Structure 1
Amino acid sequence: ILLTTTDYLSSIHENILDEYREEVQLLASSKIDGVITTNWDHLLEETFKDFSVFIGQDGLFSSRNHGVAEIYKIHGCSQEPNSLVLTAEDYGKFRKKNPYLSSKLLTIFIEHPIIFLGYSLTDPHILEILEEIVKCFPADKMGTLRENIIFVEFSPGIEEPVITESIILKTLPVKLIRAECYKPIFEVLSEVKRRIPAHIFRRIKDELYDLVITNDPKGQLYVKEANDLDNNEGTPEFVVGYGAINQVKKSAEVAARGMIGLNREDIIRDIIFDNGDYDPNTILETVFPNLLKSSQINMPIFKYLNQSGRIGEDGTVNCEGLCARLKTRVGYSIDRYGSESERERSKKIDEVIEGISELYKSVDTNLFLRMAVFVPPEKMDLIEFQNILKVLVDSDLNSNNKSNFVKLVCVYDQLKYSKRYKF
């Protein structure tokens, strides 16, 4: 008989009458933290598919619970026939053998607003739980429960829900809602605003729990080192977020000036507009080793060397702690950014000798980008040079012109920041 009953209950949720389908859909959209049920069928876990399910006290023992996005089937479930609380004997055992479950329910009832659906104010099992609350709750604080315990009573023939107040167990105040159906209740719950979905919040709590217990985030959390927090001045601020971890890490690191996510285009724009506000030591020690993986990559470096205090007044550079490819680039002169064949051609263009502004006004963009590196340093007006770069940085350049543009930015960077040239 028991097996036949459980087979029947396993599929009963699939046969919802049409008149209740809208009601169930509204229930599914309700913003709730969890469900406590004495029902044996699978309707609730099918409705809240992202919630974790705990069957009886044994379920609580076998799995970690966090009190959010969880379904507690306290009288068992049809998928585990031996868990069902069905007979008078079962109820007697339930009271005696479930102290942990009882304490868990007591905690939930005290710490969360509870809405009772489908239960009577006179249900002896519900009254037992509420009686335990009354016993442990200070008499002078009992009024604070008034907004936390809400009974919804099915009352056929009522046109609109009616909200009143009631007292049960002589001292426990509760809200009482009388309604003909649950649709208005679920409509209100579906409109509740919450920043993080309950099942996501549960995952965050689960990962944080792992981190605290094991000190190992297992790649699921992005965690800033404790030493970094200790070194911050003042009171540290904490941020918890959710999303694709690679995007969260990149955003967090850039925002914190870890800047691992910066690319060469970010560096180029910072040289031209001087508005990145990047920490120069982090750029030199963290970003450049990641970007300079090829010896062929041109990169403006002198702004950050200058800002970090590594360049002396005579133009010498302290390279201690820098990666090998960055040290190599310290020795580059502006002459390396132009080929010998182009240098010979530049000698035939008068505006190259006249100055950067004159060259820009007299030739097309393609020729300018090839010839500008040959303008003598003393003919470089850095303000004009910068203004030209600001115009060209967002131009639609082909690959060759983009490469020449980067070389030109490297020349500008060295002229302005290396202290090797006097203007």
Structure 2
Amino acid sequence: MLQQVNCAGELLGACMSLGESLLGHLKKFPSPPYLFIGSGISRRYLNLEDWPGLLKKLCEIHELDHGYLSTEAAGDLPQLATLVAQTLQPKWWKEDRYKDSREKYAAIAVDKESALKIETAIYLKSAAKLTNDAGLLAELELFKKVVADGVVTTNWDNLIETLFPGQTVYVGQEGLIFSQIQGIAEIYKIHGTQDDPLSLVFTANDYSVFQQKNPYLASKLLTFFVENPVVFLGYSLADKNILRIIHSILDGLSNENVNKLADRLVFIQWDPKCENSRFERTILSHDGRSLPVYQGTTSSMAEVYEALGKVKRQIPAKLLRLLKQQVYQLVHSTDPADRLYVQDINDETPPDKIEFAMGVGLLAKLRDVGYVAISREILARDLVFNDQGLNAKTVVEKSLPELLKSAKYVPVLRYIRLAKSIDGFVPDLMDGRVVKAASRTLEAYLKKNGSGKLIESAKKFKGDFLAFSEKDTIERTMAYWYYLPEIAFQVDQVENFLKEKFDLLINHPNPNIRTSFSRLISVYDYLKDAQEAAK
């Protein structure tokens, strides 16, 4: 196991604050840091329990003998979670108190551990309450301004998504290992998420599977560790799970390459008793090899977030991710029609011969070329978050006709509305596919035909979209929302739902869920356009 060995006498920042020392250290690297966020952050701002406390709380809620199960587990927390799961499972299936849970989640209760994960997700959603402490709320405002290339977290709650809205979220090891990640403006929830109960890494079996895949995870994380400094928040240097990940990374490196990681890892620890903040160099030792890291200790996280907010970046993270994604898709395309063109800034090549244009000081005549290849994801994100900076006239004239050749659910109304205020836009010249898509009513996106208990339940549902989405799993919500009556849809409710679930849904492994998401995006486009027209 990795062990910490303190470097005696090597105290940095003796004349500087922790924030100044941290910022000075991060300035040594060409890239902004990656954040590795642990449960200490959730405890601080959401008043959630640590892992032992969570298991004790779950035993209390479900009337299980925590003391007996703890002695049986002999201090092994994953094993304790396994015993809690096995004890809860028959109660969950038989007792009336779990009737509502069974109705919502029976379809995903696939093994003896499912009930615990389902009830844990339910508990986290209800118990995670944002602090009302003025000082902590001020810290969170600083946290939102932190400059980081991305976030890796073992937390299950959704605080990180709230702090960094619009970033793409990947869930579980497989989400990180098998996805076409860009490494920028992305959140990796490697231990799962409360929005997908079965994704939670909780029991002994879960950790066994996690450890088997650790070398693959480590190979992915190594990219971040080599290209970026990594700041750990909410973990201690003694955290076994983090040390195992670092262990796996070191095992795959030669001594020479281990040296390249020197000083890139920074652990920030909060200590309420700390009177003088410290920023110290220390050593992580494993199998005779040493890795220098830094440890900051403070009683105020505000100075840490302030320092991280002062890190310089040339291009906004979400824009940089978009550029990387477009380049990746171009380079990996097997379509011979795709063309990569490199030109001198004074080259006279006609812009219509270029499929993808990228450069510094890009000529105005090339500006519109990339709009032809804009994806539905970009339009959907722009519709929901209004953060892509797209030219509406060009979207209507270039992007929408191309997308509508192969896709039915494409947001069009926002861009037509905005394009009408741009000089040179002629509505009568719009492509026929765009005109047809713009003529669809709300009814066109909903279904009336179909039979079955859940379909009939949706058709007869008396509440609104919010109530429907809260009464069931995200998968069932997306499978049946379009059977709701038209009166159920309120623009603000749909907007909030899409903002909260955007990354989960757009990256969902089930293609039917992704199609349903695109359909809901079109519904939101219709509702939002009607709202704007009524102003």
Taking structure 2 as the reference length, what is the TM-score of the superposition?
A: 0.41
2:238 is the counterpart of 1:122 = yes
Correspondence 1:7-406 to 2 at 5 A: 7-10=122-125, 12-18=127-133, 19-60=135-176, 63-97=179-213, 99-140=215-256, 142-169=258-285, 171-214=290-333, 225-226=341-342, 240=359, 249=367
1:242-292 Cα shifts (integer Å, max 9, x gaps): 99x97872799xxxxxxxxxxxxxxxxxxxxxxxxxxxxxxxxxxxxxxxx
Alpha-carbon distance in structure 2 between the residues aligned to 1:183 and 1:242: 38
Alpha-carbon distance in structure 2 between the residues aligned to 1:76 and 1:49: 18
Structure 2 segments unaligned to the other structure (5+ residues): 1-115, 349-356, 371-535
Q: What's the offset of the Cα at 1:57? A: 2.4
Alpha-carbon distance in structure 1 between the residues aligned to 2:177 and 2:246: 23
Aligned residues: CA RMSD: 3.5
1:338-389 Cα shifts (integer Å, max 9, x gaps): xxxxxxxxxxxxxxxxxxxxxxxxxxxxxxxxxxxxxxxxxxxxxxxxxxxx
Q: What's the offset of the Cα at 1:17? A: 3.3
Alpha-carbon distance in structure 1 between the residues aligned to 2:347 and 2:170: 43
Q: What's the offset of the Cα at 1:76? A: 0.5
Alpha-carbon distance in structure 2 between the residues aligned to 1:193 and 1:227: 30
Cα distance change of structure 1 residues 246 and 239 upon mapping to structure 2, 3 Å threshold: closer
Cα distance change of structure 1 residues 93 and 142 upon mapping to structure 2, 3 Å threshold: closer
Cα distance change of structure 1 residues 228 and 114 upon mapping to structure 2, 3 Å threshold: closer
1:29-58 Cα shifts (integer Å, max 9, x gaps): 100011111100000011111211110123
Kept in 1: contact 2:215–2:249 (CA 8 A): no
Alpha-carbon distance in structure 2 between the residues aligned to 1:13 and 1:195: 35
Cα distance change of structure 1 residues 195 and 251 upon mapping to structure 2, 3 Å threshold: farther
2:120 is the counterpart of 1:5 = yes
Q: What's the offset of the Cα at 1:231? A: 7.7
Alpha-carbon distance in structure 2 between the residues aligned to 1:160 and 1:247: 58
Q: What's the offset of the Cα at 1:100? A: 3.0
Alpha-carbon distance in structure 2 between the residues aligned to 1:6 and 1:30: 28
Cα distance change of structure 1 residues 247 and 39 upon mapping to structure 2, 3 Å threshold: farther
What secondary structure sits across from 2:176 in the alignment? helix
Kept in 2: contact 1:242–1:248 (CA 8 A): no
Cα distance change of structure 1 residues 106 and 226 upon mapping to structure 2, 3 Å threshold: closer
What secondary structure sits across from 1:164 in the alignment? strand
What secondary structure sits across from 1:15 in the alignment? coil
Alpha-carbon distance in structure 2 between the residues aligned to 1:145 and 1:60: 21
Aligned equivalent of 1:334:
none
Alpha-carbon distance in structure 1 between the residues aligned to 2:178 and 2:249: 26
What secondary structure sits across from 1:166 in the alignment? strand
What secondary structure sits across from 1:7 in the alignment? helix
Cα distance change of structure 1 residues 11 and 242 upon mapping to structure 2, 3 Å threshold: farther
Alpha-carbon distance in structure 1 between the residues aligned to 2:221 and 2:369: 40
Identity score, percent: 37
What secondary structure sits across from 2:367 in the alignment? helix
Alpha-carbon distance in structure 2 between the residues aligned to 1:92 and 1:152: 28
Alpha-carbon distance in structure 2 between the residues aligned to 1:11 and 1:191: 35
Aligned equivalent of 2:79:
none
Alpha-carbon distance in structure 2 between the residues aligned to 1:52 and 1:11: 24
Q: What's the offset of the Cα at 1:133? A: 3.0
- Which amino acid counterpart does residue 74 of structure 1 have in structure 2? I
Q: Which moved more, 1:43-52 or 1:144-153?
A: 144-153
Kept in 2: contact 1:146–1:175 (CA 8 A): no
Query: Which is greater in Rg?
Result: 1
Alpha-carbon distance in structure 1 between the residues aligned to 2:126 and 2:318: 25
- Which amino acid counterpart does residue 17 of structure 1 have in structure 2? N
What secondary structure sits across from 1:169 in the alignment? strand
- Which amino acid counterpart does residue 38 of structure 1 have in structure 2? T
Alpha-carbon distance in structure 1 between the residues aligned to 2:136 and 2:246: 30
Kept in 1: contact 2:214–2:245 (CA 8 A): no
Alpha-carbon distance in structure 1 between the residues aligned to 2:205 and 2:248: 22
Alpha-carbon distance in structure 2 between the residues aligned to 1:172 and 1:137: 12
Give the count of matched residue pairs: 243
Alpha-carbon distance in structure 2 between the residues aligned to 1:51 and 1:242: 27
Q: What's the offset of the Cα at 1:199? A: 1.1
What secondary structure sits across from 2:146 in the alignment? coil
What secondary structure sits across from 2:220 in the alignment? helix
Q: What's the offset of the Cα at 1:13? A: 4.7
Cα distance change of structure 1 residues 141 and 178 upon mapping to structure 2, 3 Å threshold: same
Kept in 1: contact 2:172–2:191 (CA 8 A): yes
1:46-88 Cα shifts (integer Å, max 9, x gaps): 1111211110123236642111111111110000100101122
Kept in 1: contact 2:233–2:269 (CA 8 A): yes
Kept in 1: contact 2:270–2:297 (CA 8 A): yes
- Which amino acid counterpart does residue 265 of structure 2 have in structure 1? I
- Which amino acid counterpart does residue 55 of structure 1 have in structure 2? V
